[in-house]
Amino acid sequence: MAATRPRALPPVMSCTNTKALLDHTTFLAWADALRAEAPALSRAGFLVLLPAPLFDSAVRAFAGTGIAWGAQDVWSDGAPPTGELPAEALAHAGCQAVMCGHHERRRRLGESDTDVAGKAAAAAGQAMVPVVCVGEREEGPAGRAVTAVLDQAAPVLDALPADAPLVWLYEPAWTGGAGAPAPYPQIAEVAAALRERCAGRTGDTRVLYGGAVTPGVLTRALEAGAALDGMGIGRAAHDPAQRAAVTAELLDLLASREQAAAPAPRKAPT
């Protein structure tokens, strides 16, 4: 039976997709390191996206830490063929979120924008948070990136209930081998376009940037005016010093938002 209760999202977020790079032993060692940093990581809304063989270990490793975890994909088109996992199975396993539309799946498996929208809706239907990857395939002008992202986003917004939580991960495919993030003004333009397109939604919506993320990328993107809620972290998530530095930037962003939202102190009567 589909779950219907919307999930609230943390005010700032970070996520990492482990792909299939970690075997069981390596994952447990990495999870031990994350548990030691759990107070900071949980405040930074840290989310780990894992392959199915690591789900059971994730249940035990992250219990009580505040570190969230989820799946890297979901089947949505009718009865799943052998080897595919439907949203109900992922939710039953304990997944809190599902990545949808990673650029590798779009390119290598031919997933369409409509396919990605179906996956996002399937995840939301089981009260899991869809983390929807969007981004242009090739480097080019900012306007072209905005157009590509909004084209990818439109079917998702049509498919999702307005009150369903949603995370956008803007991750240009070309940044994977570029060694540098997308231009910061471009990140700002894309984030602004996504926020404008989501203005009528009632569910929590977060906009993250991923792609060659290292310490300083979030700070420079914010300085360029990017209305981001966090970062998608790749290799930096597995380097203790870089992970700590990016987490510190996220906590600075959280502190600035909490300060901005705090009521002004009352003036003493004269």
The answer on pLDDT for 53 being more than 70 is yes
- DSSP assignment letter at 10: -
Q: What is the mean pLDDT of residues 153-177?
A: 96
* Model confidence pTM above 0.85: yes
The answer on pLDDT for 267 being more than 80 is no
**Beta partners for residue 166, in sequence order:** 205
Q: Is residue 62 part of a domain?
A: yes
The answer on pLDDT for 248 being more than 60 is yes
Q: What is the mean pLDDT of residues 33-38?
A: 99
- Terminus-to-terminus CA distance in the chain, angstroms? 62
Q: What is the mean pLDDT of residues 232-240?
A: 97
List active site positions. Answer: 102, 171
- DSSP assignment letter at 78: S
Question: pLDDT (tens digit, 9 = 90+) per residue, 84-136?
Answer: 999 999 999 999 999 999 999 999 999 999 999 999 999 999 999 999 999 99
The answer on pLDDT for 2 being more than 50 is no
| Residue among 12, 1, 9, 2 at smallest CA distance from 222 | 12
Q: Is residue 140 part of a domain?
A: yes
Pairing label, strands 129-134, 13-17? unpaired
63 phi and psi angles, rounded to 5 deg = -60, 130
Residue 264's pLDDT is 80
Residue 170's pLDDT is 99
| Residue among 138, 104, 133, 135 at smallest CA distance from 117 | 133
Q: Is residue 8 part of a domain?
A: no
> Domain of 82?
13-258
Mean pLDDT, the chain, rounded, equals 96
Residue 29: exposure state from Cβ atoms within 10 A (0-12, 13-18, ≥19): exposed
Q: Is residue 198 part of a domain?
A: yes
Q: Is residue 60 part of a domain?
A: yes
122: CATH: 3.20.20.70
Q: Is residue 114 part of a domain?
A: yes
**Which tops the pLDDT comparison, 270 or 220?**
220
Question: pLDDT (tens digit, 9 = 90+) per residue, 177-233?
Answer: 778 999 999 999 999 999 999 999 999 999 999 999 999 999 999 999 999 999 999
Q: Residue 4 — pLDDT band, cuts 50, 70, 90? A: low
Structural domains in the chain (count):
1
**Which tops the pLDDT comparison, 84 or 77?**
84
Residue 1's pLDDT is 42
Q: Is residue 87 part of a domain?
A: yes
